[in-house]
Amino acid sequence: AIQLTQSPSSLSTSVGDRVTITCRASQVMTSTLAWYQQKPGKSPKFLISHASSLDDGVPSRFSVSESGTDFTLTISSLQPEDFGTYYCQQFDSYPLSFGGGTKVEI
């Protein structure tokens, strides 16, 4: 089973900051990783997949990159509405799995 380790688990930032969240997979995957944003009391929302482009309506300040087993979500200029918890998820193989989450506080 593929395990995903997200870092950091939380971060406190300011509007306009560049934010980077990393998801490390326990084995090599072929771009089969997605990112979700969840706000308190709400359902997760699909943001972006390494296998495709941004979901419709997702601002271009969100981008992804990968290097080996490390996958990175970058928010180029943090906006007030970007607070919440971010999760990575692999869909390379079953059992599907999520990272532990990164709480972004502003």
Partner 1 sequence: EVQLVESGGGLVKPGGSLRLSCAASGFGLGNYSMDWVRQAPGKGLEWVASISSGGGYIYYADSVKGRFIISRDNAKNSVSLQMKSLRVEDTAVYYCAREGYGSGPTEFDYWGQGTLVTVSS
Rounded to an integer, what distance in angstroms lies between the CA atom of residue 81 and that of residue 106?
9
Q: Which of 13, 17, 22, 45 binds partner 1 (CB under 8 A)?
A: 45
Place of tokens 């981008």: 63
Question: Which segment (10-18, 23-31, 40-48, 69-77) binds partner 1 by CB under 8 A?
Answer: 40-48
Assign residue 69 a region: left if phi > 0, alpha if psi is -120 to 50, beta otherwise?
alpha
Kindly state whether residue 51 participates in binding partner 1, applying the rule CB under 8 A: yes
Kindly state whether residue 83 participates in binding partner 1, applying the rule CB under 8 A: no
Answer for the pair 87, 35: CB distance below 8 angstroms, yes or no: yes
Rounded to an integer, what distance in angstroms lies between the CA atom of residue 8 and that of residue 67?
17
The site for partner 1, by CB under 8 A, has a size of 25
Kindly state whether residue 32 participates in binding partner 1, applying the rule CB under 8 A: yes
Q: Which residues bind partner 1 (CB under 8 A)?
A: 32, 34, 36, 38, 43-46, 49, 51-52, 55, 87, 89, 91-101
